[in-house]
A and B are shown apart, each in its own frame.
Chain A
C-alpha cells in the first residue's frame, strides 16, 4: 500500500478515462456516473493519505514519504519517482475533492459531448495529481503538459460562444506553452549540470551555486513558466479570458488547482534549488506580488461580469502567494537569525495556506457563479438585484464564501493573509504595507460589486425575464433557490472553509512542518 498509493492515485483517473471510452456514447448518464464513481477512488485514497500523514508522519517530523521509484530509463537517468510531503498531501486532497465536485456538478449541467467532457476531466485530474507527487523532472514536465491539453479543450469546446472560447483557449494554451518551453530548457540545463533528473537530488546538488548569472537564467526560466501559471502580474491576462469562457467546472479546476501548479513549482523546485538566485531577485518577485494584489483588486472594482470579476480576484489573491514566497526568499541571506527563519516559515505558511484556501474559496465562488448563470443565462451584475430576498439559501452560501475571500477572520482566508503579512512585514516591511491597500480594495469589490449589486437592493422582475429552474430545467418568471445538487457541491467547501477558519492548525500542521524543515535546510 505504502509505496503504491501515489502511482495508484495518479493512474486511476487515466484508467477511468480509458474505461469511459468503452461506454457507448449515447449512455450519457452512465458515462457521468462512471466518471464520478471513478473520481471517488482517488478522493478516498487522498483522504487516507491526509489522515495517514497527519497521524503517522507529522508526529515523527514529516518529510517526504510514500516514496517510490517504479522505473528508471537508464539512457536518460530519468525515473518514475514519486513522493509526497506536508506540502503535496493537502494539495492532492484539494485536487481530488474539487475534481469530484466538478464532475458531480457537471453531471447536471453538461449537456453536449458528454463523453469527451468527462474523459478530458479525468485526464486533467491525472495531470494535476501527477505534478503534485512527481519527484522527477521529466515526470513533472510530462504531467505538467498533460494538465494543459484537456483544459484547452474544456475551454474551447464547452465555453459559451459569446465569450470567445476559442480565442481564450488558444491564448491559455500558447501562453502556458511558452513558459513550458523555458522550463524544459532549464530542466535540461539542470540535468547537464547535476547529472540527475531527480528533483530532490538536484536541489541538494545546488546547481550553479557559485555562478549567479547562470543560476539566475535557470531561475527566471522556471519562474517564467510558474508565474504564467500562477498567474503573476504582468503575465495574467490569459486568466480572465480563460475563466470567462470556461464551463463552470472547468473554471473551478482552473482556479482551484491549475493556478496552484505554478505556485507549487516555485516552492517545490525554485526555492530549494536556486535559493541564492531567488534571494537575489526576491524583491522583484515581491514587487510583482504586491502589484498583483493591489492592481488585481482595483480592476475588480470596475468589473460588471461576475465571472470576470472573480477571475481578476484570483490575480489579486495569488499575489499574496507571490508576496509570501518572495518575502521568504528575501530572508534567505539572513536565515541564520532564528527570528528571520521563523518569519520565513510564516511567510511560506501564509503562501501555502493561501494556495489551499484560495482553491476552496475561489472554487466555491465559481460554482456559485454557475448557480446564477445557469438560472439567468447572464453574468452581468447590472441585471441582478435584491436576490437576497428571492434566493436566501444562495445568498447565505455566497455571503460566507465571499467574505472568506475577503479575508474575514473566522473563515479560512484570514489565516493565509495573516501569516503572509506576518512574514512579509518582518522581511519586506514597506512592500507589505503597500499590499495592505489590497485588503481594503478587496472589501470594496466584494461588497460593492458582488453583494450590493446582486443581492441587495430591489428585485426587478423586468431585468431577467426568464429564469431556469434547476430542479427540473423548466422556465419560470421567478428565480428559484439552489437545487439539491448545487447544495451538495457547496457544502463540503463551506464546511472546510469554516473548519479551517476556526482550526487553522488542521492545515498548518502540514505546512508548518514543511516550511520549518525547508528553512532549516536552507540555513
Chain B
C-alpha cells in the first residue's frame, strides 16, 4: 500500500509525458488525462493524510520510501520520499488545490470550444504572425499560437498548457515528499522551470503600451530573479552538506533526518567562519532561496509581473503552491533555522514583517485585479516568514494552508471576472459597440457592478476576500492570522532575547492587517459593487460551470478550514474544536526540538487584530463610498489618490503605485551592469586575448616565411621532400594561404599513415606476439 505514495508525483509526470509525446494534438484528451492523473494523486494523497492523522504516534514513525543511493567516494548520498506529519498536512492541501485549478482550467482554456478560425486561415495562406489586425479591438485575442484565444475559442496551445501544469504538479508534490535537501532542490528547480514556461505561456503576446511587460519578458524575469535566490541557497546547501559530512564522518548526506540530529546541529553551531557559526551562515544562505521563490523583499519584483501568465497559473504557482514552497522550505529546515539562532531568526522575521507591510502598501494602489492579488500574496507570505522568525512554527503552517485555499480562490475568482469581462467585450463588439480606448479586461477601473451579472463568482470572491482580510470568527484567514499576531504579542511580552523583534513584527503585521482589509474591500467594491463603468462590464456574463464550481468548493474551505487550527485556549470554541492541527504538528515539532506549546489566551492581540480588520474595511467603505460609489467613471482618479494629493502627499501615492521604483532601480543597476559586463568581456576576448593569439600567429608566420624563402632560395632542390618541422609548418601555412587544401589533403593523409606505419607495419609484418 505504501508504494502507492510513489504514484503521487509520478502520475502527473506520466500525464506530462503522455501529453507531450502522444496527445498534443487533442486538447480535450490532454486536459482529461491531466485531470484524471492529478485526481488519482489527490485520492492517494488524502488517503495517506488520513492514515497519518489516524495513526497514533505518527510523528515518530514516518513512512520512508527510498529511491536511490548515489555513490560519493566511500560514502553515499541517499535520496528518497518520506511522509511525516508535515508532509501529510501538505498532502492535504497541495493535490486538492491543484485538482480544483485543473478542473477550472478546463473551462478557462476553453476546452470543447471550436478552434480559432484564424489558425486555419493563416496556415492556408502560409503567412506569418501578425495577421488579423481586425482583432486589435479584442486586446489581441485570437491571433493564434502564443496569444490568448479569446472567450469563444479553445486556446490553440491548450494541450501544452495541461502538460506544463502537470509537470508543475509533479514538482510541488515531489517537493513536499522529498526526504532530503537535494531532492527538495531538484523539485524546487523543476517548479522554477514550469513557472518560466507557464508565465511566458502566451509568448507571442504584445501590448500597445510599450512599457507594459510582455509574458515573454515576465517569464524570464521570474526565472532569473528566483535563480539568484536559488544560487545563494545552493551555496548554503553545499556548505551544509560539506559541514555535515565533516561532523559525522561522511555519514550525514543531506537527508533531513540525518541533518537534524543534536550532534549535527550542535556541531554546526560550534564551527565558525569569521565569527559566524556555520548554522547561522547556512540558515541565512538557504533562506535566500525562500526569498526568491516566495518573492520576499528584495527579490519580490518577479511575482507581480508573473501575472502575465494565464490565470489558473497565477492561482497554481503564485498562490497555492510554488510561492508557498519557499515557506515550506523554511518550515522543513526549521531545526537549522533555530540552530542559526537569533541572527538567522531575526533576519527571517524582519524580512517577513517588512515585506508584509511593504507589499500591502503597494497593493492599495494597484488597479490590475491580478496585481492586487499578487502583492497581497507577497504580503501574506511575509506573514508566514514573520511567524517563523518569532518561533510561531504551527501558526506559520496554519497560515500557509489557509492562505493557499483562499488565495487560490481569489485568483480563480479574478480569472472568472476577467473571462466575464472578455465575454462582455466580445458581446459589446458584436453589437457594434467599441470599447473605450485603453480598455483592459484585467483593470478594475473598467469594471464595476459585476455582482449582478456574475453571482456565483461574486459570492466566492467575497468569501475569499473576507478570509484574506481576516473577517473575525467566520473566516479561515482570521484564525490563522490571529494565531500569528497572538504569538508575536506573546513573544513580545514573554520572550527574552528577541522581544524587540517580536514587537516590530507585531506592529508590522497589525498595520499590514489593516491595509489588507482596506485593499480587499477596495478591490471588491471596484469590481463587483456600484454601477458598470464600461460596456463590457455591463454585458459581462458568468463563467462556465467548470470554473464556478471549483470556486464554490474552495470558498467552503476558505470559511471552514480555520476551525482546524483554533487555539485550544480560545474562549468557548477553542476546547470544543480541540485544535487538530496543533495536535498533529505539535508533537512532531517537539520531537525536532521546536517549541510549539500552546500559548495562553490573551484578548489584547485578538482585539487589535479585529480592530485592524474592521478599521480597514470601514475606512475603505468610507473612501470608496457606499456600494462602490467612489468610482463613477473608468478614467477618474482613485479617491485615495485625490486624498493624498490634497494632503500634498501625491508623490507618496505615486511611489507606491510605481512599486517604489524597484524595477527601475534593478534595471539601472544589476541588469545594466550585467549587460555591460557581458559586452566588456566579449570585447576583451576578441581584442585582447585573441589579439595576443593572432599576434603570436603572425609572428610565427613571419618566421615561417623566412624559413620558406631560405628553403627555396638556398637549399632549393637539395632537400626536396625531406621537410623539417619548420618548413613543414611553413608549408601548411602557404598551402592554406593559397587555398590548395586539396593537394595538401593527400600530403597530410600520407603523414598520418606514416605516423601509424611505425606500429602497424611492424605488427603485421612480424606477427603478433603474445
A residues with CB within 8 A of B: 14, 69-71, 73, 80, 116, 123, 139, 142, 145-146, 149, 152-153, 156-157, 166, 169-171, 173-175, 177, 234, 236-238, 295, 298-303, 338-339, 341-346, 349, 386, 388-389, 392, 396, 403, 408-410, 414-415, 418-419, 421-422, 425-426, 429, 432-433, 436-437, 439-441, 443-444, 447-448, 452, 455-462, 477-478, 503-505, 508-509, 512-513, 515-516, 519
A457 with B678: CB separation less than 8 A:
no
Q: Which residue of A lies closest to B254 (CB)?
A: A422
Q: Which residue of A lies closest to B238 (CB)?
A: A425
Q: Is B494 at the interface (CB under 8 A from chain A)? A: no
A513 to B127, CA, bound (A): 57
Closest-CB distance, A521 to chain B (whole angstroms): 14
A299 to B679, CA, bound (A): 7
A123 with B745: CB separation less than 8 A:
no
Closest-CB distance, B223 to chain A (whole angstroms): 6
Of the residues B160, B685, B700, B729, contact of A237 by C-beta under 8 Å = B685
Closest-CB distance, B13 to chain A (whole angstroms): 10
Asked if A341 meets B74 with Cβ closer than 8 Å, knowing A237-B685, A302-B682, A408-B190, the reply is yes
Q: Is B245 at the interface (CB under 8 A from chain A)? A: yes
User: What B residues does A116 contact at CB under 8 A?
Assistant: 745
* Chain B interface size range: 35 or more
User: What B residues does A71 contact at CB under 8 A?
Assistant: 759, 762-763, 766, 768-769
Q: Which residue of B lies closest to A173 (CB)?
A: B732
Asked if A418 meets B73 with Cβ closer than 8 Å, knowing A342-B245, A440-B231, the reply is no
B72 with A419: CB separation less than 8 A:
yes
A447 with B196: CB separation less than 8 A:
yes
B residues with CB within 8 A of A: 20, 24, 68-75, 126-130, 144-146, 157, 160, 182, 185-190, 193, 196, 200, 203-204, 206, 216-217, 219-220, 223-224, 227-228, 231-232, 234-235, 238-239, 241-242, 245-246, 249-250, 674-675, 677-679, 681-682, 685, 689-690, 693, 697, 700, 729, 732-733, 736-737, 739, 741, 745, 748, 751-752, 755-756, 758-759, 762-763, 766, 768-770
- 19 of the cross-chain contacts (CB-CB < 8 Å) are A70-B759, A71-B766, A71-B768, A123-B752, A142-B758, A157-B741, A295-B685, A302-B675, A339-B250, A343-B73, A345-B72, A425-B239, A437-B231, A456-B219, A460-B130, A461-B127, A462-B128, A505-B71, A516-B73
Of the residues B193, B200, B219, B242, contact of A408 by C-beta under 8 Å = B193
A403 to B217, CA, bound (A): 18
Q: Which residue of A lies closest to B24 (CB)?
A: A392
A299 to B681, CA, bound (A): 6
Closest-CB distance, B574 to chain A (whole angstroms): 44
Closest-CB distance, A513 to chain B (whole angstroms): 8
User: What A residues does B741 contact at CB under 8 A?
Assistant: 153, 156-157, 166
Q: Which residue of B lies closest to A11 (CB)?
A: B760
User: What A residues does B186 contact at CB under 8 A?
Assistant: 409-410, 414
B189 with A408: CB separation less than 8 A:
yes
B234 with A386: CB separation less than 8 A:
no
A459 with B129: CB separation less than 8 A:
yes
B223 with A346: CB separation less than 8 A:
no
Q: Which residue of A lies closest to B174 (CB)?
A: A410
A268 to B768, CA, bound (A): 27
User: What A residues does B232 contact at CB under 8 A?
Assistant: 436
A303 with B146: CB separation less than 8 A:
no
User: What A residues does B729 contact at CB under 8 A?
Assistant: 174, 177
Q: Which residue of A lies closest to B243 (CB)?
A: A426
Closest-CB distance, A415 to chain B (whole angstroms): 8
Of the residues B189, B220, B238, B241, contact of A447 by C-beta under 8 Å = B220
Asked if A519 meets B128 with Cβ closer than 8 Å, knowing A80-B763, A156-B736, A425-B238, the reply is no
A425 with B203: CB separation less than 8 A:
no
Closest-CB distance, B24 to chain A (whole angstroms): 8
B681 with A295: CB separation less than 8 A:
yes
B204 with A505: CB separation less than 8 A:
no
Closest-CB distance, B741 to chain A (whole angstroms): 6
A139 to B758, CA, bound (A): 10
Q: Which residue of B lies closest to A130 (CB)?
A: B756
Closest-CB distance, B145 to chain A (whole angstroms): 4
Closest-CB distance, B668 to chain A (whole angstroms): 17
User: What A residues does B145 contact at CB under 8 A?
Assistant: 388-389
Across the A-B interface, give the 10 residue pairs with the lowest CB-CB distance, nearest first.
Answer: A461-B128, A345-B73, A342-B73, A389-B145, A409-B186, A301-B678, A456-B203, A426-B242, A425-B238, A302-B678
Q: Which residue of B lies closest to A294 (CB)?
A: B681
Asked if A519 meets B73 with Cβ closer than 8 Å, knowing A299-B681, A440-B228, the reply is yes
Q: A392-B160, A440-B227 are in contact. List 20 more A-B contacts (CB 8 A).
A: A80-B763, A142-B758, A174-B700, A236-B689, A298-B678, A302-B675, A339-B245, A342-B74, A345-B72, A386-B203, A410-B189, A426-B245, A429-B239, A433-B235, A443-B223, A459-B204, A461-B129, A503-B68, A504-B70, A516-B73
Q: Which residue of B lies closest to A503 (CB)?
A: B68
Q: Which of B126, B196, B220 has the most CB of A within 10 A?
A: B220
A444 to B227, CA, bound (A): 9
Of the residues A339, A421, A447, A458, contact of B234 by C-beta under 8 Å = A421
Closest-CB distance, B477 to chain A (whole angstroms): 34
